[in-house]
């Protein structure tokens, strides 16, 4: 039995095969857009699901509160606070780790577990081994990241200095916790799994080590559904104030949660912005290509109408022609996106240790990407079909009358006279079709813009690193003390071999209020003459430490809605809990965290506690750093030691892992758009001007001369598009930078000359590749076939 194929279907198949290059290039753009949407937005959805499941599994708290020391009996009072559904107390303390294979001392955070069973709130997920046995004085549960970095397995031993005493501990298991998904040592900005870890011990054991029998220094809370977190926080603070309460804080301010939320916000911005840009470009390209492509089939449409086909049938035929590339592109993009999405979330698994992180292909996302592209194709096709179908068949079967030729603006200015004949022909063709040339240039400009948009983040990170580590953190070692010490500690630090300079600092937990708005921050005091830690603005300018008042991070000033000259109500949350009004002396646009900085003298006067310090910054002779670290390790008052150079090495290592992959994706996607726009523009121009170019060949023009006429236009369009693309890329980068403004970090809007040049070079290479493909078709032009008059 012979399969019967309708005439229009046969025509459709022939046309698709004849124009397969153009259809595949359009399908590639659609595939790139759908792939980007499915990968990035799908990855964001996977992260949100993993976070929600993790929090539910471990019963992640709603509020945290720290105190100097509170009795266990206070727990009953906390349980009766309105809005509190559950509360659990615990002991947590920092310690140093004896890691003999490292020059720099390690550090850890030890957190208590109930003496029996598992925590009511903020539970841990066991990854290997078991929980410490009840009453076991030498058993610990180690954080999985630290154990993996150190090559530890259950049964290994660890030496730690707990409350000034060296102890040998047995690792009986490894675990993860949502509180420590992003575990950062004191004085650092990034995780250092090889030197810093989180450990869990039974409550009675850890309490006896740190003199906390019958008491606690930390409490976690779950609120009742519908409870007001702000009101509950005020009540909890009142209950804990007499015991040295540092101020309760909500989940939004918990460091690991805040970091993950910042990453999710970045992912949400990228997972929305990049797909929107790609889908918009794909839609624009489809509209441009389909409208021009179908307009070249004016005669075929007239013939179909003359044979009795209705406008609806003709329209549906060409719509299927347009939708064929959409189906191919959406299908390929969805399949590729599902594979790439899996690798995408695996990359996040190396930074955030969720118990389960699984990518799932989202069919709605595939349909959304394909649907947007289909609408663009339909709109582009309908306009051209409607114009051609509206003509009477007899008129439509005649070739379009040539446009009126007259000198354009540039020719009237005498530009054409200075050009060779081929240049004048190119100039005239561009001037006679200005809208067509402008739309083609806009398509190429979008590919340039995508490159600028993708690469500006690396420029911003480079600027952020330069200012943070060359301008702000200029010390070799940052030392954090267990508790505030007398400023006389300077003399002990200066006597250490290899230390060239010592600068002291004080950090006080404080609550800043401006009207009904408030924020808990670390109020930091810096010396007037400080050279190792400075206040540096986004432009690299150094701000002096004010004699009076406080300098706020710009994002903190935005949250509190204050500016220079306004006053804040400040309440210290430790020591004598001093209160007072402090003027805003400055606002600094910084990049990492939020800061509130005063002079050391002004902070001392505010607290009324005398010359106390929380830490110090040291400048060390280059070859004496290991010796200084060993000396600091022996001081019982030292809680933590951090090295900015070490932090920078970790950051650069993380960036190097993702930099090449990120650039490869960006270049690949932008190249797809460049090739698709330029190739389709040249191919359609070849269809539109085939008779003209063939006539020139018959008149004696060589293949190279004819190619110059065709591809010269595309070259000019590409060169004109590059600066437009730079401008569009800058505007889009501004939007992305605003979306990245979180309290964890901000990416400065910095675009280097290198990025602009790279975007231009990639676009020119894509244009050259497209031109080479089209040049081969020009060389194979059948002069007799092209010059035939269609009957």
State CA 460 to chain mean position distance.
11
Q: How far apart are CA 708 and CA 702, in angstroms?
A: 10
Tokens of 696: 């020139």
- 507, 592, 597: which is closest to 551 by C-alpha? 597
In 614-653, which positions are buried (b, 16+ CB within 10 angstroms) versus exposed (e)? bbbbbbbeeebbebbbebbbebeebbbbbbbebbbebbee
**Looking at residue 23, what is its pLDDT?**
76
Distances (CA, A) of 153 to 102, 145, 194, 438, 496: 19, 12, 14, 64, 37
d(CA 24, CA 35): 16
- Return all residues near 137 (Cβ < 8 A) that are at least 6 apart: 205
Nearest to 457 by CA among 751, 176, 699: 751
What 3-state DSSP class applies to 74? helix
C-alpha atoms less than 13 angstroms from C-alpha of 559 in its C-beta half-sphere: 17
d(CA 236, CA 242): 11
Contact in structure between 706 and 693 (CB atoms under 8 Å): yes
pLDDT at 186: 66
**What's the rounded Cα separation, in Å, for the pair 203 and 212?**
9
Q: What pLDDT score was predicted for residue 790? A: 47
Nearest to 551 by CA among 585, 576, 525: 585
What pLDDT was estimated at residue 387? 66
Structure-token pair, residue 475: 């010390």
Q: What's the pLDDT score for residue 417?
A: 59
Beta-sheet pairing, 612-620 with 477-486: antiparallel
pLDDT along the chain (791 residues), means of 10: 67 78 76 80 86 93 92 92 93 86 79 92 93 91 91 91 87 93 72 87 92 92 90 89 85 84 75 71 70 71 78 77 80 82 78 82 76 72 65 64 61 60 68 73 82 82 83 86 87 88 90 87 88 87 89 90 91 85 90 86 88 90 81 76 75 60 64 70 66 66 68 80 91 80 77 89 82 69 53 40
Give the integer Cα–Cα distance in Å for 343 and 49. Answer: 17
pLDDT of residue 222: 94
**Residue 624 dihedral angles phi and psi, to the nearest 5°:** -105, 5
> Within its chain, how far is the Cα of 388 from the centroid?
47
Kindly state the greatest CA–CA separation across the chain: 103
Dihedral sign (CA 525, 530, 534, 535):
positive
Rounded to 5 degrees, φ, ψ at 161 are -105, 105
Structure tokens at 783: 């002069």
Do 690 and 782 meet the contact criterion of CB atoms below 8 Å apart?
no
**Token representation of residue 723:** 């600066």
Give the Cα separation of 64 and 51 in Å (integer). 19
Question: Distance between CA atoms of 674 and 333, rounded to whole angstroms?
Answer: 18
Reading phi first (left if > 0) and then psi (alpha if -120 to 50, else beta), residue 762 is in alpha
The reported pLDDT for the residue numbered 2 is 52
pLDDT at 32: 78
């Amino acid at each position: 039995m012979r399969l019967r194929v309708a005439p229009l279907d046969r025509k459709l198949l022939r046309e698709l095969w004849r124009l397969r290059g153009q259809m595949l290039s359009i399908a590639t753009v659609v595939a790139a857009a759908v792939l980007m949407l499915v990968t990035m937005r799908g990855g964001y959805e996977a992260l949100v699901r993993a976070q929600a499941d993790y929090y539910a599994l471990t019963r992640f708290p709603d509020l945290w509160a720290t105190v100097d020391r509170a009795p266990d009996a206070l727990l009953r009072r906390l349980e009766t606070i309105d809005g509190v559904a559950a509360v659990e107390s615990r002991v947590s303390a920092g310690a140093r780790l004896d890691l003999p294979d490292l020059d720099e001392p390690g550090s850890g955070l030890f957190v208590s577990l109930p003496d029996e069973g598992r925590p009511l709130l903020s539970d841990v997920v066991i990854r290997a081994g078991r929980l410490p046995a009840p009453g076991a004085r030498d058993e610990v549960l180690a954080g999985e990241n630290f154990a993996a970095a150190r090559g530890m397995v259950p049964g290994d031993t660890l030496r730690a200095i707990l409350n000034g005493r060296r102890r040998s501990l047995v690792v009986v298991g490894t675990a993860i916790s949502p509180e420590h998904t992003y575990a950062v040592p004191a004085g650092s900005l990034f995780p250092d799994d090889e030197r810093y870890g989180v450990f869990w011990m039974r409550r009675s054991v850890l309490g006896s080590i740190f003199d906390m029998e019958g008491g606690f220094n930390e409490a976690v809370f779950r609120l009742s559904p519908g409870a007001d977190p702000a009101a509950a926080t005020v009540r909890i603070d009142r209950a804990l104030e007499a015991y040295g309460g540092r101020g309760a804080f909500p989940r939004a301010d918990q460091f690991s949660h805040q970091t993950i939320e910042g990453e999710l916000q970045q992912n949400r911005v990228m997972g929305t912005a990049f797909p929107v840009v790609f889908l918009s470009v794909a839609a624009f390209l489809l509209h441009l290509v389909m409208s021009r492509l179908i307009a070249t089939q004016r005669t075929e449409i007239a013939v179909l109408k003359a044979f009795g086909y209705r406008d609806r049938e003709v329209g549906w035929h060409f719509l299927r022609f347009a939708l064929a590339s959409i189906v191919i592109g959406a299908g390929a993009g969805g399949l590729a996106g599902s594979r790439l999405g899996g690798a995408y979330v695996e990359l996040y698994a190396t930074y955030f240790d969720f118990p389960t992180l699984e990518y799932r292909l989202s069919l709605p996302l595939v349909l959304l990407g394909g649907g947007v592209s289909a609408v663009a194709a339909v709109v582009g096709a309908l306009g051209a079909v409607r114009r051609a179908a509206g003509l009477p068949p007899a008129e439509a079967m005649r070739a379009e009358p040539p446009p009126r030729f007259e000198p354009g603006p540039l020719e009237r200015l005498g530009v054409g006279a200075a050009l060779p004949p081929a240049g004048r022909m190119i100039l005239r063709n561009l001037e006679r079709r200005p809208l067509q040339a402008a739309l083609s240039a806009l398509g190429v400009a979008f590919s340039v813009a995508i490159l600028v948009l993708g690469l500006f983040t690396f420029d911003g990170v480079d600027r952020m690193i330069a200012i943070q580590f060359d301008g702000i953190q200029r010390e070799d070692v940052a030392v954090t003390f267990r508790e505030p010490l007398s400023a006389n500690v300077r003399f002990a630090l200066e006597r250490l071999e290899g230390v060239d300079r010592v600068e002291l600092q004080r950090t006080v937990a404080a609550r800043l209020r401006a009207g009904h708005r408030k924020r808990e921050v670390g109020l930091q005091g810096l010396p007037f003459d400080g050279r190792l830690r400075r206040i540096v603005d986004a432009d690299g300018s150094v701000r002096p430490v004010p004699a009076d008042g406080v300098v706020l991070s710009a994002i903190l000033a935005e949250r509190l809605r204050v500016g220079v000259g306004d006053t804040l109500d400040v309440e210290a949350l430790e020591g004598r809990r001093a209160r007072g009004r402090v003027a805003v002396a400055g606002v600094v646009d910084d990049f990492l965290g939020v800061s509130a900085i005063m002079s050391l003298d002004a902070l001392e006067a505010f607290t009324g506690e005398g010359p106390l310090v929380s830490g110090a910054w040291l400048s060390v002779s280059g070859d004496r750093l290991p010796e200084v670290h060993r000396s600091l390790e022996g001081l019982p008052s030292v809680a933590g030691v951090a090295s900015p150079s070490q932090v920078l090495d970790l950051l650069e290592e993380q960036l190097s892992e993702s930099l090449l992959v990120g650039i490869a994706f960006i270049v690949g996607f932008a190249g797809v758009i460049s090739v698709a726009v330029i190739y389709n523009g040249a191919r359609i121009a070849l269809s539109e001007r085939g008779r003209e170019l063939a006539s020139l060949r018959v008149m004696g023009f060589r293949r190279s001369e004819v190619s110059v006429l065709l591809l010269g236009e595309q070259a000019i369009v590409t060169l004109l598009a590059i600066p437009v693309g730079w401008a569009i890329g800058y505007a889009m980068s501004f939007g992305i930078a605003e979306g990245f403004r979180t309290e964890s970090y901000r990416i400065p809007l910095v675009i280097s000359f290198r990025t602009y040049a790279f975007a231009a070079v990639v676009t020119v290479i894509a244009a050259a590749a497209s031109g080479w493909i089209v040049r081969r078709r020009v060389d194979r032009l059948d002069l007799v076939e092209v010059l035939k008059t269609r009957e």
